[in-house]
Each structure stands twice: as structure tokens, then as C-alpha cells.
Structure 1
Amino acid sequence: MGHGGKVFVTVGTTLFDALITAVDTQECKAALARQGYSSLVLQIGRGSYLPSKDDVGGLLKVDFFTFSPDLKEHLSSADLVISHAGSGSIFETLRMGKPLIVVVNEALMDNHQAELAEELAAQKYLLYASPGTLLKTITKMDLDSLVPYKPSNPAALVKSLNSFLGFHDD
């Protein structure tokens, strides 16, 4: 079950209408409301798709904006974050200890972001979805199964990522 409160969706500075469109469906909003969330705030970036502010029968208040000089306020007040797969957004959210669903932009070529998100999901730091699987992920999510992220030695992280990506130390 969800933990209630505010859901914050961010695409950062990217153009990722597929994520905003996926969250903006009545089915997705209803799933968030069933999980106990009462507020949905979407940061839509450079996208051209404008989400509906329909409130799903009074159960989920919806709002959106394009950019903010500082997303930390939105992240810190969120009870669940749904984010694009940018490493900065991922690690900032994890360092704040927020439950996170990372949605990968399948339209990107050579998508190293997907590899990072898959690896962090395998380690149970976050949940991983695509725009097409987001509804199912929200419906079935168990946030209590996530492991708290503890920032480590940056050199160890680089070594681990290099190994995962197939780069070897000489």
C-alpha cells in the first residue's frame, strides 16, 4: 500500500511528454488515489502536453508547472517521486530518502539511463517502469520492499558502474 500524501512527478529539463501523458490518465490518477495519495504535482519541463487538473472525484488534487529554479522543495515535500531517468534526479531523490519510481524514456537511443535505473531497481533502491508499464507499477507497488539508499564512496560507485557497464580498470 502507498503511504499517502503528495506525489511529485518530474521530467527535469527534458522533453518527456510520454511520462506526463501516462500519469495524466484517469486510470493512473485513480490508482494513485487508491494507494492513498491525495495530491499530484507534475513538473512538465519543455513538454507540449498539458495535463488535466481533473481531481478524480475529489480524491486527488492535481496541479502542474513547467520549471522551478529549485526542485528540492518539491522533492522534500513529496511522499512519492515519479521521475525521468536522469542520474541527477535519481540520486538527489534517493539521497533525500524518498520512494522513487523511475520511468525510462524508451524513445532515447543508446539509453544508458535505462541501465542505471535497472541496476538500482535490481538493488531495490527504486521501482522501474516505462510509460507503458507505469500504471501496473503503481497498482502493484510495495514501497516497504525498497531499501534505503546510503551514499557511498564516490570512487566505489564509479568502480561499480564501470564494472557494470563493462569498463575494466587497468
Structure 2
Amino acid sequence: MRAFVTVGATAEFDLLVESIISSNVLEALQKKGYDELVIQVGPSTRFGVLSEQREGISLDMWKLKPTLKDDFEKSDLIISHAGSGSILDALRLHKPLIVVPNPALLDNHQSELALALEKRRFLKSTTISGLAATIKAFDPQALLPFPKVDGAKFRSILDEEMGYEP
């Protein structure tokens, strides 16, 4: 099985990469049956392209691609920073998702989104220090499917705000 990790494209999140490649997180993934781990390290200055075996897991690291869609589709688990784009991409594909908010970002805004979506049971949110334990306890069956986009709702709100009455 394959796990995919994304830290996003705009900010370094080396703490997440360090945590993912730590022995305790790799062991947790391996015990859950994952034998492939692909990590998008983003604009990191500490991590780059890498391909090796660790803890019985094939590990591939790379920096950036124009799109992550293929990686999301091929993965059985996605572990992501809590950026809205990455979260929505994973949830729309109905992939099991664990998010780790980047506390270094402005007002820790990623935590608010992660906790709101966790409360609705669309994903599991954790911290860097809690990642291994979260993986060990993670049950994708406990998550609810993310609803499809309903453009009519947005259109209705926009019409109301603009004073349009059909």
C-alpha cells in the first residue's frame, strides 16, 4: 500500500518531513501495511530528491510538481499539511486523510480548518508529536465521505447578496 505526504508548495514544513521519516512513524506505517511512502517536500532547503528503503518501506522524496492529482489518486493514505487546497483535493477523491497543521504559519490558521473538518469526521487532525500515535490508531472507516460540490448553493447565496430575484 502507498502513503503520500504533501507539505504544500509555498512554505517549508521540514518538521513534518522529519517526523514522517522518523523510525517511530515509519514503523507505524509499516505495521498498518504501507510499503511505499512518497513525500513531496516542497520548497525545503534541507530535503531534496531521495529514493531508498527504510524500515521495510520504499521511500521516495521530491520537491515540486505542477499537480499532485496523480499522487493523490495512486495513494491509499494521504498525510498532508492543513492547506485548504490539499485538503479539498484529497477529500474530493475520498481518500483517507490525516492532516498536520503547520504551526509556524500566520496565526496557526491551518489548525482552525483542520479541527472544523475533523469535527465533521471528514479527516483526522494531529500534531507533529502525535503523528505516530495517530497513524497507529487511525481507522479510515470512521471517516465520513466528503459531500459533492453543489454549485446551486453558491449561486443562491451570490444571487441573494447581489439582490437578484429570479
Q: TM-score, normalization: structure 2?
A: 0.85
Secondary structure of the 2:125 match is strand
1:118 aligns with 2:115: yes
Q: How many residues are aligned here?
A: 152
Partner of 1:153: 150
Q: Bigger CA drift: 100-109 or 118-127?
A: 100-109
Shift of 1:151: 2.6
**In the alignment, which residue of structure 2 is the partner of 1:164?**
none
SS at match of 1:55: strand
Change in Cα spacing, 1:143 to 1:106, as seen in structure 2 (3 Å) is same
Give the distance between the partners of 1:56 and 1:64, measured in 2 at CA. Answer: 12
Which AA in structure 2 matches 1:105? Answer: N
Moved more, 75-84 or 131-140: 131-140
CA contact (8 A) 1:46 1:66 kept: yes
- Residues 59-95 of structure 1: CA distance to partner in whole angstroms, max 9, x if unpaired? 2111100001111010100000000111010001100
Counterpart residue identity of residue 120, structure 1? L
Residue by residue over 1:20-48, the C-alpha shift from the partner in whole angstroms, topping out at 9 and shown as x without a partner, is 01101011111100001110000000112
Deviation by residue 1:73-132 (Cα, 9 ceiling, x = unmatched): 101000000001110100011000100001011122312221111010011100101111
Change (3 A) 1:111 1:153: farther
For the aligned residues, what is the CA RMSD? 1.8
Q: Partner of 2:163 in structure 1?
A: none
Give the TM-score normalised by the residue count of structure 1. Answer: 0.83
Partner secondary structure for residue 28 of structure 2: helix
The Cα shift of 1:54 comes to 5.0
Shift of 1:150: 1.1
- Matches for 1:8-47 after TM superposition, within 5 Å: 8-13=4-9, 14-47=11-44
Structure 1 residue 156, shift from structure 2 partner: 5.5
Structure 1 residues 151 and 31, CA gap change in structure 2 (3 angstroms):
same
**Distance of 1:153 and 1:47 partners within structure 2:** 37
The 8 Å contact of residues 30 and 56 in structure 1, kept in 2 or not, is answered as: no
Which of these residues, 6, 16, 22, is aligned with residue 2 of structure 2?
6
1:15-164 matched pairs, under 5 angstroms: 15-50=12-47, 53=51, 55-57=53-55, 59-153=56-150
2:158 is aligned to: none
If you compute each CA radius of gyration, which structure gives the higher value, 1 or 2?
2
Give the share of equivalent positions with the same residue, in percent: 38
For 1:127 and 1:32, how far apart are their aligned partners in 2? 15
Deviating 4+ runs (over 2 angstroms):
48-57, 151-157
Which segments of 5 or more consecutive residues in structure 1 lack a partner in the other structure? 158-170
Distance in 1 separating the partners of 2:122 and 2:153: 17
Q: Which residue identity is paired with 1:7? A: A
Tell me the SS of whatever aligns to 1:93: helix
> Structure 2: any 5+ residue segments left out of the alignment?
155-166
CA–CA separation in structure 2 for the residues paired with 1:140 and 1:65: 28
Amino acid at match of 1:40: L
